[in-house]
Structure 1
């Protein structure tokens, strides 16, 4: 028997991890998969995950077959398909297919969990800053004294707009160009409002980290990056007023709940899995505080709002999946 902890790490059918496991899969009699984020990017994720479990018995042996059966092209450019959407009724069909080998148990149903409070702290760019952002969004290009900012396509534009919403952006030459300090000012206010209580700050871009570190150093606020065993121990002992963490390093199984109960998102991520895993570092069993507060610094009129909406929509899809298999367990299936 093989137990795949964090089954979602096998969701990419093109990954070396998935292909390596499928080579030995025929020799394994039984496979159990465990994950808290089975469909963080939508139900397309389920194909590879369930092929690990049943070798394609339920959802098909090939991704092309799975797409044809349950999806239709969504965003396209000629013959090139950028994304897919579910066929009418396909969501329920998928749930039915996997229901006999799937069960869900939510922590809230079985464990004593602290209350989770999520809110948004909105900041506003001035007219000049907002115009730079709008020009980039419209033209995919902005000429500045320190360098040019260019986005070759929609995906690149999304990244540039996220950077600008955070307050800085990389030029075409890789130089950091500061656009505004609105999020830094908000972060400083929020840390001050914590009144000495430890705060964890999630950042996304390297220039986010550099600017946050400069501001905290300037204000003589002690901080450390959570990137070593020693820094994690300091955080869990309550010795760090501010801990800086990148979502990709806030991985599965990392226990940080002893150090504090406040998480501030300075920069957002489109990845629901990384988002939920980062929140789960504090909002988990063993958290001694009665509440965990997750605050998102959002720049008004920017892509930040779209990211928040996207995360909520992905979470709704995932919750429908969990609810579907949970309902079947409840009724004895």
Structure 2
């Protein structure tokens, strides 16, 4: 296929060529992969300013997206891709292959750094979905940090650079400029732009932005960051977001309240630590969706209200495909039991066949987990107009990425995103948190604490 770049794609390519290290904060659907590959091709074959290029990506993207994009566009088909995936021996064989670009999944960053040590051979590194390097304590960040001085060019790609807070920016910017703009340490960055909030002893659970911190941070990194929003460039059809209230029957409500009281009240006189908050939130979200795991990993059924609501939605779609996001395995199995026509997105080559079948309207009901459907999937060619969140999910990043599998460049139909929200449950807290764009552990902590207060008051 002949590549006729949009203006923003030309701009993104030029910025990569002109800037030794740069972050492209391109929202989903703006074609960041082809823009980056076009720049890499020029660096390799026109400018002779790159010799060995490493791409670090989520596993599914590493398996499929980069090679597929090379094969799709006429001007890129001469590029040779080696996939550094599989067993250690398969990865070593791929590293020895004659190639222009080596693609590895982010879980093996530590391995490849230890494999080469001081003989690091890649002069250019692309970090696809750089927000996965937002934790400065993570092994993948520390490994890449060690070899960063040996890398001449770095390109970071993401649509959600700070899914939880501006604190997420420091590690990503450090991998670009080695601390030149936001400081050499996360501690220094924190002290400069944040003040400690809630704490337990010496442990700070919450950091609050100082006045004008956001503006100062963005001014500091403006020369190495390009931010583009899809709404500014793409004439996408309308996306409508709606909550579908799901009413629980009396027995289900009583079971939920009992679980809520029994789990929460023992902690009413003490601070709720993150791990405990996560367990409590998870149990309540499971119950809101209709079932819950017991201590032996058995499933206790609570209600079928969400299954009934999903059945109504599928019927209203009048034969058009419906995409459903689930978060719990028991939700998946219960949906599959109720709707035998449902298909899950498989891995590897089978998954590629599922994508083809979906885009050709051969799958009436696609079930996806947001973690496996987040990056690099193009599912917008089907006639699907209905996306359903069966289980609610705290992660803003996963939510945005998952919805963008359908609502992205190439989509010609209006998309309706429906969230099944069990009334009077933790579902409501999650949806409110997403709407406030304040997700992650902090929102989880505050939501659970607020619910404790309500239970105490009642």
Class of the TM-score when normalised by the shorter of the 2 chains: 0.7 to 0.9
Secondary structure of 1:249's aligned partner? coil
Moved more, 161-170 or 86-95: 86-95
Secondary structure of 1:263's aligned partner? strand
RMSD across aligned C-alpha pairs, in angstroms?
2.0
- Whole-Å separation in 1 of the counterparts to 2:438 and 2:240: 16
Deviation per CA, 1:222-249, whole angstroms, max 9, x where unpaired? 1210122222221111011101000011
Query: Which of the residues 316, 327, 330 maps onto 1:193?
Result: 316
Moved more, 299-308 or 201-210: 299-308
Match of 1:313 in 2: 436
Match of 1:267 in 2: 391
Match of 1:320 in 2: none
1:56 aligns with 2:179: yes
State how 1:22-41 maps to structure 2 within 5 Å.
22-41=145-164
Asked whether the equivalents of residues 248 and 305 of structure 2 are also in contact (C-alpha less than 8 Å), the reply is yes
State how 1:1-333 maps to structure 2 within 5 Å.
1-140=124-263, 153-217=276-340, 222-227=341-346, 228-259=351-382, 260-289=384-413, 291-314=414-437
Rate the CA distance shift 1:73–1:155 in 2: closer, same or farther, 3 A: farther
Asked whether the equivalents of residues 344 and 367 of structure 2 are also in contact (C-alpha less than 8 Å), the reply is yes
Q: Which has the higher contact order (CA 8 A, sep 6+)?
A: 1
Deviation at 1:89, TM superposition (A): 3.0
Deviation at 1:126, TM superposition (A): 2.1
- Taking structure 1 as the reference length, what is the TM-score of the superposition? 0.86
- Whole-Å separation in 1 of the counterparts to 2:329 and 2:287: 13
Any gaps of 5 or more consecutive residues in structure 2? Answer: 1-123, 266-273, 440-458
- Whole-Å separation in 2 of the counterparts to 1:202 and 1:67: 35
Moved more, 66-75 or 274-283: 66-75
- Whole-Å separation in 2 of the counterparts to 1:102 and 1:297: 37
Rate the CA distance shift 1:27–1:281 in 2: closer, same or farther, 3 A: same
Asked whether the equivalents of residues 135 and 141 of structure 1 are also in contact (C-alpha less than 8 Å), the reply is no
Deviation at 1:135, TM superposition (A): 2.6
- Whole-Å separation in 1 of the counterparts to 2:296 and 2:438: 37
Asked whether the equivalents of residues 140 and 152 of structure 1 are also in contact (C-alpha less than 8 Å), the reply is no
- Whole-Å separation in 2 of the counterparts to 1:23 and 1:85: 30
Deviation at 1:81, TM superposition (A): 2.6
- Whole-Å separation in 2 of the counterparts to 1:185 and 1:191: 10
Deviation per CA, 1:43-89, whole angstroms, max 9, x where unpaired? 11101111111111111221222222222333333333333222333
Match of 2:73 in 1: none
Secondary structure of 2:181's aligned partner? coil
- Whole-Å separation in 2 of the counterparts to 1:191 and 1:22: 48
Deviation per CA, 1:25-49, whole angstroms, max 9, x where unpaired? 1122332222110111111110111
Q: Which runs of 4+ in 1 moved over 4 A?
A: none
Asked whether the equivalents of residues 286 and 328 of structure 2 are also in contact (C-alpha less than 8 Å), the reply is yes
How many residues are matched? 303
Deviation at 1:312, TM superposition (A): 2.0
Match of 1:148 in 2: none
- Whole-Å separation in 1 of the counterparts to 2:234 and 2:264: 50
